[in-house]
Structures are given as structure tokens and as C-alpha cells.
Amino acid sequence: MSAAHTLYTFRRCPYAMRGRMGLSIAGVPVLVREVVLRDKPAEMLEASPKGTVPVLLTSSGDIVDESLDVMRWALAQNDPEGWLDADPDTTHELIARNDGPFKRALDRYKYPNRYSDEDLVPGAARASGLEMLQDLDARITAQGGQLVRAERSLADIAIFPFIRQFAHTDMDWFNAQDLPALQAWLEGHKQSSLFKGVMKKYAQWSPGADEPTLPVAA
């Protein structure tokens, strides 16, 4: 089956991960163009000069180049698990905090040498991130397994790749924290067929190369 749409993506980018998961759960047929960020293809930059992934080129010629917009576009086509039905205000609040203060803490924790201000207070970024992780742990407990409700929804998938990245910076430290609900939540998403399906490795795309189709979630 040929795909109607094309996605520029980078396997390890958390923004691209959540975009791919949104497309996969929606069952939208998409051709994958795996890029290397230090060697971005001219075709991608022509479509989206800001040069970040994901970039979705729809069959109608539209360009969607923000990860949350890719997710919402896909779910507007098909939302089999009702991700968009989960409390929109809570969803917006959680994602905004993830993409704002938590992402700031994550970057400074993972790459401290890039930020001179972190030299002034060693460990501040990890401590700041931990406060937000503790809040998520309590929320997951209260909601019965996920962030907004008992079943996964938009917030879980939009936030999970960033929690994964934070945890993997020092897994021994993360596993030693008193975050049982969050740790179980993270492991569940890591082991899900949805996540494993979109993490398949592809060769770097170049014009004329094969364009595999993104796996559709079972």
C-alpha cells in the first residue's frame, strides 16, 4: 500500500517520537524519511526552513512542522483510543509544563556543559526536574495509571519521550527515586507495541532512496 503523506523524522528526537506515535495510532499511511540533523536534506529545509523535526508533508500539500500539530492532525483523521477526549485543560497544562520548564531542566541536566549558569548551582537542573517528576508520580497514582485518566491519552504520549530521556541520563539514579507510579508508567510506555513500532531503525534518507511506511499500531 502506498502512503499518501511524507514524514521527515529523526529516530532519537523526542519531538519526532511523539509525532510518529500520533501518526501510528491514527493509522495514517506515512512514508518515512529518516534524516541526520547535522546533514539535513535540502528538500526538508525547503519545506520547513526552521530545520527541526518532525516535518509532515500531507498529500494535499500542507506542511505541518510542529510535533503537537502533527499529533493533532493525525488524531483528527482517526482517534481510535479517544486521546483527544481526555480533559483538554489538564492536557494543555501538563504538556505546556513539559515543553517549558521541564524541557529546560532536562537540557541542563543532560548537557550541563552547554549552560554556564548550571556551574553556579551543581545539581539544580536535576533537582528541578525531580520536583516535576514527583508531581507526575502523584498524578498517575490518582488517575489510576496514566496522567489524565486511567487509559493513555494525548498528554501521556506527548510527555513520555521527554521523561524517558531524563531517566536515561542516569538510570541508576532514576530507579533509586521514590517514584513507583511514574517508573511503572515509563516502563509500560517503553515496552508498548506503539513505541517499539515507531522506533524501528532506518537508513538516512536521500533523494531516490527507499521510503518505508511508518508502522501502524496494532
Condensed to tens digits (0 to 9), the pLDDT of residues 139-173 reads 999 999 999 999 999 999 999 999 999 999 999 99
Quick one: average pLDDT of 87-116?
94
Least confident piece of the model among 89-98, 106-115, 117-126: 117-126
C-alpha cell at 185: 508508567
Higher local confidence (pLDDT), 120 or 13: 13
The alpha carbon of 137 is separated from its chain's Cα centroid by a whole number of angstroms, namely: 19
pLDDT value for 118: 55
pTM of the model: 0.95
| Domains within the chain, CATH numbers bracketed | 5-80 (3.40.30.10), 83-192 (1.20.1050.10)
Determine whether 11 is exposed, middle or buried from the number of CB atoms within 10 Å of its CB (0-12, 13-18, 19+).
middle
Cα separation, 152 vs 107, in Å, equals 26
* Cell numbers given for 47: 519545506
By the 8 A CB rule, do 23 and 7 touch?
yes
Residue 2 scores a pLDDT above 60: no
Taking only the tens place, the pLDDT of each residue in 99-108 is: 999 999 999 9
